[in-house]
Amino acid sequence: MSRRKFIATVGGVAVVAGVSGGILYEVFRPKLITELPRHVAPNAYTQNGKSLLSIVKGTSDTNVETMVREALDAIGGIDRVVSSGTRVVVKPAVLNNQPYVAPDPHVVAEVARLAMEAGGTVVVAECSGGGDTSYCMQVQGITSAVQAVGATVRYLNTESQIQIAVPNGVTLHDVKTFPTIYDCDVLISVPRLKRHFSPTPTVTISLKNMMGVVPLSEMNRFHNMGLSQCIADVNTVMKPNLTVVDATYAMARSGPDDGDPIEMDTIMASGDPVAIDLIGAQKLMELEQQHGIPTSDYPDYTNIAHINAAATLGVGTNNPDNITIVERNLS
């Protein structure tokens, strides 16, 4: 092969590679999706215009699955949102691989099982911010519990990302998420009731749980732009239709992983994530006061920035007068 031909061949290959690379990039570049996710819908669990919220109290011997069923029954049952063929995503707050930071695997599994019983296809999905999602969920026992009831687990950190518009956002106008979250018909949030050591966000319950449906790079962005408002903005487009809060143990004094797990034997449920955050924060504060844990470092539950910001955006209500609490005692 002569030198001229060699150089011509190399040049030709380089040009073809460059052009095809450019075309492929343009075709596969993620585009902004302007349609809202399907699960964004008005609260299905209301009565006389007020948000329903159930609080089920048991004892340490009470069967956890029974408490979950009672909590859902008290607000109207899971079939208000799940029917035959509904695609359901259950989003547990995994965080990392330590004990007590995540909801009880039996709670997550029971929510999944009830959704399946109502006719839905259930995927348990999470993108944990404190380590490899697959490892964390396995160590926490959530993966095996969920698979035992027949639901599938999806580790969102292994999925490709899509970008969706946030039309009503104050700080955010777009956010990256995953196809699993975008395509589902019903989003169920399953967090644990926990304190957060930072006055922002003070508590990590349902609204903060939605940090786990966006990729890690977005979490970075939120911390740069003002976390509380970003949490509220995200919840306008990633709005859980149902929240089941695991308060069998609550993490108090500090959190989300270095607090004290205190037995509370409670399960809460609501279709309004703002209301459940508000009442959850109130119950957490009462629990800490009962145990003599000082709460003066934290803002009062009515003054939590991301809860109020979310209420302003219409995600839910932070006015206790607009919340109907249904209590059931199983002891």
Which residues contact another protein (rule: CB under 8 A)? 1-3, 6, 96-98, 129-132, 135, 197-200, 216, 219-224, 226-228, 256-258
Residue closer to another protein (CB basis): 110 or 257 = 257
CB atoms within 10 A of CB 182: 19
Residue closer to another protein (CB basis): 1 or 27 = 1
Which letter does DSSP use for residue 292 in this model? T
Residue closer to another protein (CB basis): 258 or 286 = 258
Q: How far apart are CA 250 and CA 266, in angstroms?
A: 9
Q: Minimum distance from CB of 20 to another protein (Å)?
A: 17
Q: Minimum distance from CB of 244 to another protein (Å)?
A: 24
Sheet holding 174-177, edge to edge: 32-33, 162-165, 174-177
Peptide bond between residue 256 and the one before it cis (omega within 30 degrees of 0): yes
Its sign, for the CA torsion 168, 87, 127, 91, is positive
Look up residue 86 and give its amino acid.
T
Q: Minimum distance from CB of 227 to another protein (Å)?
A: 4
Q: Minimum distance from CB of 234 to another protein (Å)?
A: 15
Residue closer to another protein (CB basis): 60 or 224 = 224
Torsion-angle region of residue 173: left (phi > 0), alpha (psi -120 to 50) or beta? alpha
Q: Minimum distance from CB of 219 to another protein (Å)?
A: 7
Q: Minimum distance from CB of 136 to another protein (Å)?
A: 9
Q: Minimum distance from CB of 112 to another protein (Å)?
A: 26
Using only C-alpha atoms, the chain has a radius of gyration, in whole angstroms, of 22
Residue closer to another protein (CB basis): 184 or 207 = 207
Residue closer to another protein (CB basis): 14 or 148 = 14
DSSP 162-227: EEEE-TT-SS-SEEEE-HHHHH-SEEEEE-EEEE-SSTTTSEESHHHHGGGGS-HHHHHHHHHH-H
Could you tell me how far CA 41 lies from the centroid of its own chain?
Answer: 16
Residue closer to another protein (CB basis): 55 or 227 = 227
Q: How far apart are CA 78 and CA 67, in angstroms?
A: 14
Helices vs. strands in the chain: H and E counts, helices first: 11, 14
Q: Minimum distance from CB of 140 to another protein (Å)?
A: 13
- Maximum distance among all alpha carbons in the chain? 91
Residue 146: closest CA among 113, 190, 180, 185? 113
Residue 193: closest CA among 142, 235, 140, 246? 246
Residue closer to another protein (CB basis): 129 or 280 = 129
Q: Minimum distance from CB of 224 to another protein (Å)?
A: 6
Residue closer to another protein (CB basis): 235 or 241 = 235
Tokens for 84, please give them.
């035959």
